[in-house]
Amino acid sequence: MIRKCLACVLSLLIVQNVSLFAQDEDVWSTVDYKINKMKTELRLTDSQASGIRPIIKDYLVKHEAVLHEVAGQGIVDHVAVKSTLKGLKENEYEKLSKILSEDQMKKWINKENLMASLNPDGAESTVDDEPSLTANGANFKF
C-alpha cells in the first residue's frame, strides 16, 4: 500500500511538472496540439475539430485542477484521485462521442490506452504492497 501511495505521489509530481500549463494560453496551445494530433490520427473535419475544441480544453483544465489540488498534500488518496480522473475521462469520451463517429472514438480510445500503457510513470505498480524481510533488512520493491 505504501508503494502504491508513493508511486501515485511521484506520478502526480511528474505529471504536474511535465504538464505545467496554468496560464490560459498554455492550455490553448496544448488543446491545439491535441486537436492537430486528432486531425491527423482520426481525419477530423473542420466542423468536428471546432466542436471538440472546448471539450478538450474543459478536460485539460479540470485534469490539471485535480492534480494541482493534491500536489501539496502530504498523503494522497490515490484511489480517489484515480477515480476522479477516470470520471473526467469518461465525461470527455461521452461528449466526444456526440461529435466523433463510432470508428473515430474507438481509434482514439485505443490510441490513448496505448499511450497510457507506454507511460510507466502513469501506470500503477504491479509489485506486491508488502515489503519482504531479508538478511539485509526490509526489501522494498518500488
The predicted pLDDT at position 2 comes to 56
Output the pTM of the full model. Answer: 0.65
The predicted pLDDT at position 141 comes to 44
Q: How many other C-beta atoms are found inside a 10 Å radius of the C-beta of residue 56?
A: 21
| Domains of the chain, residue spans | 2-112
The predicted pLDDT at position 14 comes to 54
More confident call, 71 vs 24: 71
Using alpha carbons, select from 130, 135, 134, 138 the residue that is nearest to residue 3.
130
Q: Is the pLDDT reported for residue 122 higher than 60?
A: no
The predicted pLDDT at position 28 comes to 85
Q: Is the pLDDT reported for residue 33 higher than 60?
A: yes
Contacts of 102 (CB under 8 A, 6+ apart): none
Is residue 41 a contact partner of residue 108, using CB atoms and an 8 Å limit?
A: yes
Distance CA 102, CA 98 (A): 9
Which residue has cell 470508428? Answer: 103
Burial of 12 (0-12, 13-18, 19+ CB in 10 A): buried
More confident call, 133 vs 84: 84
Using alpha carbons, select from 62, 67, 64 the residue that is nearest to residue 90.
62
Instruction: Please report which confidence band the pLDDT of residue 124 belongs to, taking 50, 70 and 90 as the band edges.
Output: very low
Strand ranges (E), the chain: 132-134, 137-139
